[in-house]
Structures are given as C-alpha cells and as structure tokens.
C-alpha cells in the first residue's frame, strides 16, 4: 500500500470520527443545560480544528508533490547520495557539508523556491525534521507565489 493511499484512508477515518464527534456536540447543545452546552461547544470546536489541520496538511503535501515533480522534470530533484555508516545512518559530516553548500545557494537567492526545497532536503538528511519542515513551508510559499505555482494557496 502506498503512503498516499494510506493517507487517504486515515483521512477518511478521521473525517468519520470528526463527524461523529460533531453530532454528539450538537446533541449536547440541544439539551439546553449549561454544562452540556459548554461541552457541546467544546466538542464542536475540536472537529473544526481537526478539519483545518487535515486541510492544511493535504494542501502542503500537494504543493510539495507538485514541486518535486517539477524538479524531477527539470532534472534538479535532490538525490540522496550521502555516504552512510554500516548501520545505515547518514554520515553527519557529509550532511553538514552538503547543508553548507545548499544554504549558501539559498542565501544568494532567497526567493528561489528550488534552493529552499534543497535546504529542506538537507535539513532532513541531517536529521533536523523541525527545520526541514519550516524550510519546506518557506519553499511552498515561494513556489505558490511564483508563476510555476500560480498562487494556489
């Protein structure tokens, strides 16, 4: 099963769960009792937050996929060719050296989404997932503001 298919299955399950939770919230509000109404409102807020998070992640994933396809078509998709230890971990010195290179390119042209995509990939290779995600969000913003992305956000 592909990761994309699994994601859609999990999203469908989450949506069903959120709809059930929302219906319980509406029932609690319908009782008219102050405590039940408070719980009902709280229960309705959670599905709204859940739907927003799912929508945001789907848009992010879709944009990253479009970017990767474009880079692949241009022959510019970053390749994971860093040396690895016997245990399969990426050599940290090599990852740091690669990061320094891609960071210089991104600093030279801070509005280039391709450079920020590479920065995100380098952060990921170095094991810094939080910064990788932040760099990829920045790349998505630049991509969607560019003619290639078409401001679809």
Encode pLDDT of 97-146 as tens digits. Answer: 888 889 999 999 999 999 999 999 988 888 888 999 999 999 999 999 98
Give the domain 92-145 fold. 1.25.40
DSSP state of 151: S
Reply yes or no on whether the pLDDT at 26 is more than 50. Answer: yes
Burial of 5 (0-12, 13-18, 19+ CB in 10 A): exposed
Encode pLDDT of 38-72 as tens digits. Answer: 999 999 898 788 888 888 988 999 999 999 999 99
Question: Please, what is the average pLDDT of the chain?
Answer: 88
How is residue 127 written in tokens?
Answer: 């094991």
User: H/E element holding 113?
Assistant: helix 113-125
The CA distances from residue 78 to 32, 71, 137, in Å, are 58, 8, 17
Collapsing DSSP to helix, strand or coil, 58 comes out as helix
């Amino acid at each position: 099963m592909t990761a994309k298919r699994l994601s859609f299955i999990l999203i469908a399950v989450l949506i069903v769960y959120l709809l059930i939770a929302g219906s319980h919230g509406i029932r609690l509000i319908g009782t008219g009792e102050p405590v039940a109404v408070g719980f009902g409102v709280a229960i309705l807020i959670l599905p709204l937050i859940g739907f927003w998070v799912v929508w945001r992640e789907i848009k992010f994933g879709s944009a990253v996929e479009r970017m990767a396809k474009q880079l692949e078509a241009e022959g510019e998709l970053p390749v994971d060719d860093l040396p690895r230890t016997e245990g399969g971990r990426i050599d940290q010195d090599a990852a740091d050296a690669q990061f320094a290179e891609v960071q210089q390119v991104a600093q030279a042209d801070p509005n280039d989404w391709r450079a920020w995509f590479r920065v995100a990939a380098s952060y990921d290779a170095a094991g810094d997932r939080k910064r990788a995600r932040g760099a990829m969000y920045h790349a998505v913003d630049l991509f969607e503001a560019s003619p290639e992305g078409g401001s679809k956000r």
